[in-house]
Amino acid sequence: MTQSPVPGVTFQTIETNGINMRIATAGDSGPLVLLVHGWPESWYSWRHQLTGLSAAGYRVVAPDMRGYGKTDQPAAVADYDMNHLTADLVGVLDALGEGTAAIVGHDWGAAVAQHSALFYPERFTGLVMMSVPYSGRAAQNPLDVMRKSAGENFYYIVYHNESGGVAEQEYDGDPRGILSRLYLSPNSPREAPAITDPKRAAGGWIPRLGAPKGLPDWLSQDDLDYYVAEFEASGFQGGVNYYRTFALNWEQTADRDDFVIKVPSMFFAGSEDIVIGGASRDALQNMMNPHFADLREVTLVPEMGHWIQQEDPQATNEAMLSFLKDC
């Protein structure tokens, strides 16, 4: 198996929920912390947390999620629904011989972590959600709402749901182009975008994102090269398939009557994260409170953006360790 590029982090492949999954691990003992990455990312997104949390006495595991990296990529879109994704993570605990773990998720990983804690509260001792807040089940099919809101204009989630796999074809054709444009800080200087027409008919996503004038200080050329190589090998279809399950996930929870997360939880994000749209700490706390039995903290790090665990690993690790010691 390929050697990990991060000292102190090792790889192994486990079987979980019918697939082979590559996991990155650090620390031989201590309470288990499971780190769940988002799109378009990798176990590598957690390189600073794998080393930082294991040094503090935790056993830390970051999988390549279903469809990513060296983990299997089922062909069917339905194999990427929330039932599969959450069962994958319970299977990680089982494969490691662990009864429980704290779970941490960022971006799409936050949604998967939230639902893991919701569906399997007996297996997760605490939940750290990053960037994506939780508000229970939507009143309407979320994909229908997004399509109506976008209309004829480009919106990346609607684009990911177009037929024919147009999104992954674009990204597979230029992995460095999409990743280098997404992995930036809020104030990173960019070239002018090639497409400024908001209409979807004007083109795909990469030309709408101005090319970076340089890498942010938290991302080295070696870091970017590693990400690019992972997606050159795996392609983007698996990750894009997560976006194709919005309607399915919504439909599958129609008969569920309890969407309150019971395990101790915290929310953590950069104040400039585009996902929270400028919401204040108090606004996020008030929005999420009804959906948690024990929401202990909402923390926003000033001036930081979407890739918070890489942009400010020290603040991220400190916040996580402060929360985890009471879980």
Q: What is the DSSP string of 113-144?
A: HHHHHHH-TTTEEEEEEESS----S-SS-HHH
Which region holds residue 18: left if phi is over 0, alpha if psi is between -120 and 50, else beta? left
pLDDT score of 20 more than 80: yes
CB 93 within 8 A of CB 86: no
H or E element at residue 207? none
Beta strands per DSSP E along 235-277: 265-270
Average pLDDT rounded to a whole number, residues 273-299? 98
pLDDT tens for 218-253 read 999 999 999 999 999 999 999 999 999 999 999 999
Cα distance between residue 174 and residue 247, in whole Å: 28
Average pLDDT rounded to a whole number, residues 306-320? 98
Q: What is the pLDDT of residue 2?
A: 81
Tokens read off for 212: 């970076």
**How many of the other CB atoms lie within 10 Å of CB of 189?**
11
**Which residues are annotated as catalytic?**
107, 306
- Flag whether the pTM goes above 0.95: yes
Q: What is the pLDDT of residue 1?
A: 66
Tell me the average pLDDT of the chain. Answer: 98
pLDDT band at 203 (very low <50, low <70, confident <90, very high): very high
Out of 3.40.50.1820, 3.20.20.70, 3.40.50.300, 2.40.110.10, the CATH code matching 10-324 is 3.40.50.1820
pLDDT score of 52 more than 80: yes
